[in-house]
Chain A
Amino acid sequence: MRAFDPQLAEIRFGYGLSPVVRAPENAAAILAGLRAPDVMAARYPIEPFDKFRLRMVKAQEARVLRRKNRGTPKAAEARKLRNLLNKHARQAMYLWANQTFLRRIDTETAFRERLVAFWADHFSAHGKRGVERRATSPYIEEAIRPFVTGRFGDLLESAVMHPVMLNYLDQLRSMGPNSARAVKVGPGKGVGLNENLAREVLELHTLGVDGPYTQEDVTQLAELFTGMAFQAQNGFKFRKDFVEPGAETVLGKTYADAMGPEPIRAVLHDLAVHPATARHLAWKLAVHFISDDPDGDLIDALEAAYLSSDGALMAVYEVLLDHPASWTASLQNVKPPVDFISSALRGLAVSEDALKRLEEKHMRRVFAAPLIQMGQQWERPVGPDGWPEEDPNWVTPQGFAARVSWAMAAPEFLVGPLPDPRTFVDTVLGTWASEPVRFAAGAAESKAEAIGLILMSPAFQRR
């Protein structure tokens, strides 16, 4: 057990060592960085969803135009317009991926970027069709990023009630079986309850699958959730005609009918401070930042900080950065592919110019395709549970082969000239640079191969 170490802080709680950015001197410096204004968000902006919404409005207009003019040249024009809107959204997605990488490369408070990624994964959501497929970064920028240093209850409310989440987990069409709308339409016409979001809120976002809830709680929460809707023109909208009439009881507490979103907010804030939620989140943070099998005392300490602060996340982070179990010198978790690439870019100090120069086809070749091969498609986890934490998921032969291909070729494409491998080994590995890695870096046939070998070393791939 040890105490704070600047290099380890960068590796374990950030995106690795950088040749240009100084590591934080102590935990207080990291916490101060979190409290300070979000410099990176301002320097490398990403379109918030509220602005992204206008792309959806335009796409909707194109769809209507096409439907109204079937078989005429106007319809063909509308289709072209839709394709163009899709293309622009796709290009924007690559730009936002770049901005995300640049924040990770340049930041002095890398812990903030890690926290944004952690909570974005906790609240995994993405659009299903059309331009909305590209709305993930805007969703994270709007619903997650501003809330990662606040209270978990506010983050929960922001993520769960966000249009991207509502659509992703099928909430938008869910209506009470006895709602005004369902009664009007009549039974069997595709109206009624959908319990997807309610279940995942309990299982994934708050209590955890071992938490004290039943199927009845899921159903009641689904009824309580009715009414949350979205219109591209106006954003979040509460639809009274979707609301299941009557009170609902979730985990023994009854929420009265209000014909508005207040009871939904209330139940989310109650769930946020539930002891099972505290335990679930404490465990998840420890697994993510420390190891697959984290120290029990650390989990207890995180849980206690969460409970005594009513879910104030800064209090929890303070414990995380302070606890001796967070500073074991041996590197633990394997970096998932996106983090592997992010920390390579930071270690190589890839410049804004170099990334901005990349055309869409380059972005596909250098980032999108390799990430798929490494097993972590950009912003596309398989399910609402996000990416797996356990190392065996990331140390597979096929994933390893994909990392090798990237490590040997991508750096040369992104930085010219490549750094001297004999110094690069110390730049990115710090005190974890071992003799075999030094030897390999010197014995490789080319600079590119040497850089690749250093990036493939266990000391670089773990944190």
Chain B
Amino acid sequence: MPNPLSRRDFLMRSGFVGCSLAASPLLTPVTFASTPWDTRLVVIILRGGMDGLDVVQPYGDPHLGTLRKSLSVGPQNGALDLDGFYALHPALAPLMPMWEAGQLGFVQAVSTPYRDKRSHFDGQDLLEAGTPSLNGVRDGWLNRMLQAVPGVNAQTAYAIGRSDMRLMQGAAEVANWSPDADLNLSPQAVRLMELVTQSDPAMHAALVEASLLSDTGGDMSGRRASSHVEIAEFAAERLSEEARIAAFSLNGWDTHRNQDNTLTPALGRLAETLLTLRGKMRGDTWKKTAVIAMTEFGRTARQNGTRGTDHGTGGLMVVAGGAVRGGRVYGDWPGLGDGDLYQGRDLMPTGDVRAHAAWIMQGLTGLDRSVLETAVFPGLDMGENPGLVL
């Protein structure tokens, strides 16, 4: 399928390229064609390896208590019962109303195809590449999804924040911005800056985009919130307008030591992020939204010697939004008995995190299963529809 309006085409048509000394070209207001679908997708990458067994604690499994003494200690110790088998980490208590409204759900025991080396960095790369291996893959699955749908323009998808989102890299045009950034330049300086950077396409594109976004989305009314809240506010603002997809990261999930001290604030940030998205989206945007939060891998089933957990395999996916069928924990529970663990140490993955992401995209955009299984996630078998989208 041809890319209907690439970033470069867009810039050419609106006269942003090739007229560096014309009148203030970067500050021209522009209107954007709207995309042919109306739902919203937010993808959050939880970097560091979230311990799914502590977030959604399978307290109904008799082996949990022998593997973990001070972690995942269940409802009798403050966790919130979800369904008689799983309990939610107390730091996510602010999300209980969302769970009860059916707008928050989880998928337990899922993973990417990544196995055995348990490297954060390769694990994240593979999660974002969406492929079975990293050989020669440079783009990300969310970008390949954008390439597969018509009507995408430079404002359809946003990679937000200061860290790079490999997930969004690729041929389709994606806006990159951080809500605390601003390009404060006189029109004359902007023109000269364009002239200076013209020989370097990458830098020139960065300048053009910085000018555009400073003009349209940089104003956060002077108040400084925490960065994850700012990012969520910015995403909510953009998604309430022409944007359809936003992606960003939340860091701080690598809990080797004294897990409670690290996991509690990380979950607090996740809760605030979801509540901000819901609270700041205008009109019925939240009702049309699906949020996916995914991590590179889960952690060891056993807690380690330092009240933490080491890098593992099977993990947890979080889904939220008015468009998802929440209020339940999805996924096939593999058990925690000796023979049940992957390599005798990790939660056995029973589902592919990509299949769930694919079904959500299918539900939101109506994208063909065959496109999802070949172009977006090459070689993936999506299996049966888990029914995550309403």
Binding site for B on A (CB under 8 A): 170, 173-175, 177, 182, 188, 190-196, 199, 203, 209, 214-215, 218, 372-373, 375, 382-383, 385, 388, 391-393, 395-402, 404-405, 408, 434, 436-437, 439-440, 443-445, 449, 452-453, 456-458, 461-462
Contacts and interface: CB of A to CB of B under 8 A. Distances in A.
B206 interface: yes
B305 A174 contact: yes
B203 A458 contact: yes
Interface in B156-199: 162-164, 169, 175-178, 180-186, 188-189, 192-193, 195-199
Nearest to B345: A215
B162 A404 contact: no
Contacts of B180: 373
B189 A396 contact: no
B381 interface: no
A158 B307 CA distance: 28
A439 B194 CA distance: 12
B118 A398 contact: no
Given A191-B305, A396-B164, 10 more contacts: A192-B305, A194-B306, A195-B304, A195-B310, A375-B162, A397-B210, A398-B176, A401-B181, A401-B210, A458-B199
Contacts of B307: 190
A98 B11 CA distance: 42
Name the residue among B48, B118, B195, B343 with the largest chain A CB count within 10 angstroms: B195
B282 interface: no
Contacts of B251: 382
B214 interface: yes
Contacts of A397: 175-177, 181, 206-207, 209-210, 213
B38 interface: no
Interface stretch (B82-90, B119-127, B265-273): B119-127
A196 B69 CA distance: 21
B207 A182 contact: no
B305 A400 contact: no
B195 A439 contact: yes
5 contacts: A373-B180, A398-B178, A398-B181, A445-B189, A458-B200
B287 interface: no
B363 interface: no
Name the residue among B47, B180, B200 with the largest chain A CB count within 10 angstroms: B200
B214 to A, nearest CB: 7
A61 to B, nearest CB: 23
Contacts of A408: 185, 189
A398 B306 contact: no
Contact of A199 (B169, B176, B178, B311): B311
A276 to B, nearest CB: 13
Contact of B203 (A173, A395, A402, A405): A395
B308 interface: yes
Interface in B291-318: 304-308, 310-311
Given A400-B206, A449-B189, A173 B306 contact: yes
Contacts, number: 155
Interface string B199-226: 1101100110110011000000000000
Contacts of A175: 305
Nearest to B122: A209
Nearest to A400: B206
Closest 9 pairs (CB-CB, A-B): A192-B305, A458-B200, A398-B181, A188-B69, A398-B178, A397-B209, A397-B210, A400-B206, A401-B183
B117 interface: yes
B304 A402 contact: no
B369 interface: no
Nearest to A445: B188
Contacts of A382: 47, 163, 251
B116 interface: yes
B192 to A, nearest CB: 4
B167 to A, nearest CB: 13
A129 to B, nearest CB: 10
Given A203-B119, A385-B121, A397-B213, A436 B308 contact: no
A214 B343 CA distance: 12
A444 B189 contact: yes
A55 to B, nearest CB: 23
A453 B254 CA distance: 41
A193 B304 CA distance: 6
Contacts of B370: none
B374 interface: no
B196 A440 contact: yes
A392 B164 contact: yes
A143 to B, nearest CB: 21
Nearest to B192: A440
Given A392-B164, A458-B200, A436 B206 contact: no
B344 to A, nearest CB: 10
B308 A194 contact: yes
A296 B49 CA distance: 34
A373 B306 contact: no
B117 A209 contact: yes
Name the residue among A177, A215, A393, A397 with the largest chain B CB count within 10 angstroms: A397
Nearest to A218: B118
B199 A436 contact: yes
A92 B342 CA distance: 48
Contacts of B116: 214-215
A209 B306 contact: no
B196 A436 contact: yes
A443 B379 CA distance: 55
A436 B20 CA distance: 11
Contacts of A453: 189, 192-193, 196
A457 B200 CA distance: 9
B192 A194 contact: no
Contacts of A218: 118
Nearest to B120: A383
Name the residue among B117, B175, B188 with the largest chain A CB count within 10 angstroms: B117
Contact of B169 (A385, A392, A404, A436): A392
A194 B256 contact: yes
A396 B48 CA distance: 23
A215 B197 contact: no
Interface in B114-172: 116-122, 162-164, 169
B385 interface: no
Contacts of B256: 170, 194, 196
Nearest to A188: B69
B70 interface: yes
A209 B119 contact: yes
B280 interface: no
B256 to A, nearest CB: 4
B121 A173 contact: no
B257 interface: yes
Name the residue among B164, B188, B206 with the largest chain A CB count within 10 angstroms: B206
A39 to B, nearest CB: 36
Given A190-B70, A194-B306, A215 B164 contact: no
B268 to A, nearest CB: 18
A54 B181 CA distance: 40
